A and B are shown apart, each in its own frame.
Chain A
Amino acid sequence: MARFSLSVRLALAPVLVSGALLVGGCSNEDCCDMPEVTLKQDLVTNFADRVVVPTYRDLAHELTALDTAVLLLRTEPTAARLTAAREAWFAARVPWEQSEGFLFGPVDSFGYDPALDSWPVNRTDLDAVLSSSDPLTAEYVRNLQETQKGFHTVEYLLFGEGGTKKVEDFTPRQFEYLTAITTELQTVGNALLAAWTETTDGRPPYRDTLATAGQSGNTAYPSVQAAAQEMVGGIINILDEVANGKIADPYDAKDPDLVESQFAYNSLSDFTNNIRSVENVYLGRATDMTAQGQTLRDVVGVNTDLDARIRGEISQAITALGNIPEPFRDAIRDPASKDEIEAAQEAIRKLQDTFEKNVLPFVTQ
Chain B
Amino acid sequence: MRRPLMMGAVLLLATACGEDTPGAPAAPPRAGGATTIDDRTSLAFAQPAPNLSLEAQERHRVGDAAFAAVFVPAPAPVNPGLGPVYNNTSCNGCHLRNGRGMPVMGSGPQRTQLLVRVSMTGGSPEHPNGAVPVPGFGLQVQDQANYGVKPEAAVALEWVETQGQYADGSPYSLRSPRVRITPKDGSVPPAGMLTSLRLPPPVFGLGLLEAVELSTLQALADPDDRDGDGVSGRLNEVWDVAARALAPGRFGWKANSPHLAQQSAEAYVNDMGVTNPLFPEVDGTHELSRDTLEAAVFYAQSLGVPARTALDGAEVRRGEGLFRARGCEHCHREVLETGPYPVAELAHQRIHPYTDLLLHDLGPGLADGRPDGAATGAEWRTPALWGLGLTQTVLPYAAYLHDGRARTLEEAILWHGGEAEAAKEGFRQSSTEDRAALVAFLRSL
Contacts and interface: CB of A to CB of B under 8 A. Distances in A.
Interface stretch (A16-24, A55-63, A154-162, A166-174): A16-24
A47 interface: no
- Secondary structure dominating the interface of A: helix
Interface stretch (B43-51, B189-197, B416-424): B43-51
Given A7-B64, A11-B61, A18-B7, A120 B310 contact: no
A109 B13 contact: no
A88 interface: no
A31 to B, nearest CB: 8
Given A30-B17, A365-B309, A219 B392 contact: yes
Interface stretch (B66-74, B166-174, B215-223): B66-74
Interface in A319-351: 349
Given A115-B108, A230-B42, A349-B2, A18 B67 contact: no
B318 interface: no
A229 B41 contact: yes
Nearest to A209: B396
Task: Find the residue from A2, A104, A109, A257 having the highest chain B CB count within 10 A.
Answer: A109
Contacts, number: 205
A25 B38 contact: yes
A165 interface: no
A330 to B, nearest CB: 18
Given A124-B76, A125-B147, A233-B41, A14 B57 contact: yes
Contacts of A17: 6, 10, 37-39, 47-48, 50, 304
Given A13-B47, A129-B147, A110 B109 contact: yes
A129 B75 CA distance: 16
A211 to B, nearest CB: 14
A311 interface: no
B16 A26 contact: yes
Given A2-B70, A124-B72, A15 B37 contact: no
Nearest to A201: B397
- Secondary structure dominating the interface of B: loop
Nearest to B27: A25
B100 to A, nearest CB: 11
A222 B40 CA distance: 10
Contacts of B2: 15, 349, 353
Interface of A: 2-3, 6-7, 9-18, 20-22, 24-26, 30-31, 104-106, 108-112, 114-115, 118-125, 128-129, 132, 142-143, 145-147, 188, 191, 203, 206, 209, 219-222, 226, 229-230, 233, 237, 257-258, 349, 353, 356, 365
Interface of B: 2-3, 6-7, 9-10, 13-14, 16-18, 37-43, 46-48, 50, 52, 57, 60-61, 64-65, 67-70, 72-79, 89-90, 92-93, 96-98, 102, 107-111, 144, 146-148, 304, 307, 309-310, 389, 391-393, 395-398, 408, 443
Given A17-B47, A18-B7, 7 more contacts: A14-B47, A114-B70, A115-B108, A120-B72, A145-B72, A233-B42, A237-B43
